Amino acid sequence: MQQDYPEVSETLITQTLPNGLRVLIVPKPDYHETYAQFAVDYGGIDTRYVPVGGSEMVQDPEGIAHFLEHKLFEKADHDAFDLFGATGASANAFTGATSTAYLFSTSQAVAENLTTLLDFVQDPYFTAQTVAKEKGIIGQEIQMYQDSPGWLLYYGILGNLYPDHPVAHDVTGSLESIDRITPEALYQAYQTFYQPSNMTLTIVGNVDPAALLALIEANQAAKSFAPATPITRGVAFDGDVATILPYRALNLPVVRPKSAVGLKGQRDIGGDQAGTRYQVAVRLLLEMLFGDSSPLYQDWYDRGLIDDSFDYDYQVARTFNYVTFAGDTEDPQALSDAIVAVLAQGADQPSLTEARFARLKQAGLGKYYQSLNSLERIAGQLSAQSFTAVNAFELADVMRAVTLDELKTIAGELFDLAAVSVCHVLPEVSE
């Protein structure tokens, strides 16, 4: 199916193959580069599930999705990175809380690199020896993150907001959890989640869509896949504020303290038009109140309460959503108190004016149109939204439809002090 979006001069071609794989292609004839992303709806939180052929829930070790991502590159006689490198392509992969993606960018040999991408992701190879070797490599990565105060602050506030949900666990796992990973566990997770029907292939760039679709169809037809099986996951939406830990302090070897405030979302936000509109409205609301052009930001900066490190983040995924505010500060308690005081005002915010709303909406639209110049951004957004009912080329219409009254209504609901938690990173006290 081809759908044209004249307002942004984009065309999206979509096709679902007989094995269930979704293919999205955005031709960009004026570009030299092509970017491809092969994504699976499986991430760090998916450690409880009913495996293919089973009837009971299993509990995998934390970090297994990330471990699996690493291991898929390595085969019996080669490493997929070498195949990409031989053509001059740049390849990478990442694991998030709810998805894993494998990607490459190239200005040549698109068909060859696309074949490599499909083949290495769809050909798992795990042995006791290679798994043991990878534990040492990932163990070093885990220890590196444990030396990062910012990383520990982030997972500290998530641990406060979600003490009973796996989103609070580092996607890389722990030294103890990855030690329990076996080739059998990797194959079981792979067979359950890496079904073509649970995956999306997104390609953006100077390509011939018909030729690429023919290549992908032939590649998939030549492989044998088990029939698609519904996936039963063991993690439900967590919007419970009763479980929140209100405060945590981490004493670490830092010179400058850090402060974070977390706000747990209590509404399960769907992937439909209404859910997308809600997310756009929340992001506009946060930019109006806490963005670097806001009166609050300028006041806090002038007072020395924050510096350029201060930022907010809004994350929405299946089974959770939250807002975090964080930054370096000389007075972490004063900063967290100031943020909480703003949240306590609910919809009664002086900076929520029609003039400022109109200006920031226009700025947001400008940033959106600018993002369409990035092949990586287009592919990333389309891939992430491929498991929902809205795609990246429809966001401008959604943004235009949002009203200031919606933002005020959301502020009155979302800014619930019962859903707030605070985490500080403080310098270690010398004895």
Could you give the residue numbers annotated as active site?
A: 69
CA 68 remoteness from chain centre:
17
CA angle 207, 209, 214 (to 5 degrees): 120
Q: Any residues with CB less than 8 A from the CB of 205 and at least 6 apart, and which?
A: 26, 27, 28, 31, 33, 34, 35, 36, 110, 375
How many helices and strands, by DSSP H and E, does the chain display? 15, 15
Q: What is the DSSP string of 92-150?
A: EEEE-SS-EEEEEEESS-HHHHHHHHHHHHTS----HHHHHHHHHHHHHHHHHHHT-HH
The SS3 assignment for 42 reads: coil
User: Within a 10 A sphere around the Cβ of 37, how many other Cβ atoms?
Assistant: 27
In angstroms, the Cα distances linking 277 to 323, 380, 418 are 17, 19, 25
DSSP conformation class of 426: E
Burial grade of 9 (CB within 10 A; 0-12, 13-18, 19 or more): exposed
Tokens of 178: 């990855």
The answer to whether 177 touches 61, Cβ cutoff 8 Å, is: yes
The answer to whether 282 touches 410, Cβ cutoff 8 Å, is: yes
Tokens of 279: 């997310």
